[in-house]
Structures are given as C-alpha cells and as structure tokens.
Amino acid sequence: MTPPETTDKKSAVHVENLETARFECVFPTCGGVCCANGRPPVEEAEYARIQENLPKFLPHLRPEARAKIEKDGFVTKRKKEGLNALAVSKGWCVFANEGCVLHKVGATEGDRWKYKPWRCIAFPLERSKTGKWHVRQWKLKGEAWDLFCLNPEESPKKPTDSIAGEIDFVKELEGGRESWRKPRA
Ligand code: SF4
C-alpha cells in the first residue's frame, strides 16, 4: 500500500513519506556500507570541483583507489542518469576510506559537504523524475538496494529527527542556495 503523502510546509520540498518512513544512520558501526558499489552520478560542476581539488584527496585514499584514479580518473565512462558516475575500486567508491574522504577534507575546511555529490549528501532522500522527494525504504518505489538501514523495521526513528540536516539540504538544493551544482532532476 502506498503511504500517505505529507508536505513540509516550511518549503516547497515535498517528501512523500516523511511521516511514515523510519531511518537511522549508524555509521561507523555499519562500516559506511552505503559507499560500497553505490556509484553516484556527479553533476558537471561537482565533477569540476572535485577534479580541481584532487591533490587534496589523493593522500587520504586507499592505495588501490588512488592508483585507479591516477590511471583512469574518478568517474566511469558508463552514464547514469545521463551523468558520469563515481568509479569503484575493490567494491568501494574510490573516495571511500573508512568514511568519505570528500566529506573529511571538506570538514577540515569548515564545510563537510562542499566536495560531496548532492546525491551522497541527500541520502537516504531521493528525488524522482517528477521532482518529488521520498525517503528510500525497502520495497518502496521499486527500491532495489537491500541496505539494512533502508529497512523501516531497523529503527523507530523518524526522518524529521534522524536526518534533519539532509532534509534542510534538499530544501537548499531546491531553493537555489546550492545552484552551483546545477542539479538535474
Ligand atoms: S563520494 Fe563519498 S559519500 Fe559518495 S559514495 Fe563516494 S565515499 Fe560515499
């Protein structure tokens, strides 16, 4: 059964299952498994920012991921949502090394999200082609990823409590404050 839709009245962002979804991030207990084989697409402006700052990230990467980037770059040739996706090395995103290196370097500069693709920041929130947002949950909208944290049975926490920062981020994304990314639907 499709859960009832709710609208966040503070903004134009519509999160369909904000009241009914349950989610809790347990990183680092989970090992950051959402960064294994996820291959998020990156907007062209996000790609350019990462490329421009690549020397900052390379020393913090797993040796095999660094070697892959230095040989082939950090995105795949295969397109996802019409965009290049981040490459994977030994089953993990090339920027994963006990957490996200893009996140860690950004945090040291006072903005944990400045280098991360918006799709990684927004997780577990996802935008459909119609522009509506939802919290990813097992079996909802054909969700294929079997991450335990997407199982609503795993935690009683409401997204409004557990991912308030991510919800604010998508408001900013939709409101234009993150317009440098030039996000596509
Ligand atoms: S960019 Fe960072 S958050 Fe996104 S998949 Fe890679 S390691 Fe994970």
Q: Is residue 49 within 8 Å of residue 85, measured between CB atoms?
A: no
Q: Whose CA is nearest to atom 5 of ligand 1?
A: 35
Residue 75 Cβ inside 6 Å of ligand 1? The answer reads no
Residues in the chain: 185
| Residues in Cβ contact with 103 at an 8 Å cutoff, skipping those fewer than 6 apart | 112, 113, 115, 116
Ligand 1 closest atom vs CA 95: 7
State phi, psi for 112 to the nearest 5 degrees: -65, -20
State phi, psi for 69 to the nearest 5 degrees: -65, -45
Residue 96 Cβ inside 6 Å of ligand 1? The answer reads yes
Distance 101 CA to ligand 1 centre (A): 8
Residue 121 Cβ inside 6 Å of ligand 1? The answer reads no
Residue of 59, 23, 60, 61 lying closest to 148 (CA atoms): 23
CA separation (Å) from 4 to 18, 20, 149, 151, 158?
9, 8, 21, 18, 15
Per-residue pLDDT of the chain (185 residues; tens, 9 = 90+): 344 444 444 456 889 999 999 999 999 999 999 999 889 999 999 999 999 999 999 999 999 999 999 999 999 988 998 999 999 999 999 999 999 999 999 999 999 999 999 999 999 999 988 888 999 999 999 998 999 999 999 999 999 999 999 999 999 999 888 989 988 76
What is the Cα–Cα distance from 41 to 35, expressed in whole angstroms?
A: 13
Residue 41 Cβ inside 6 Å of ligand 1? The answer reads no
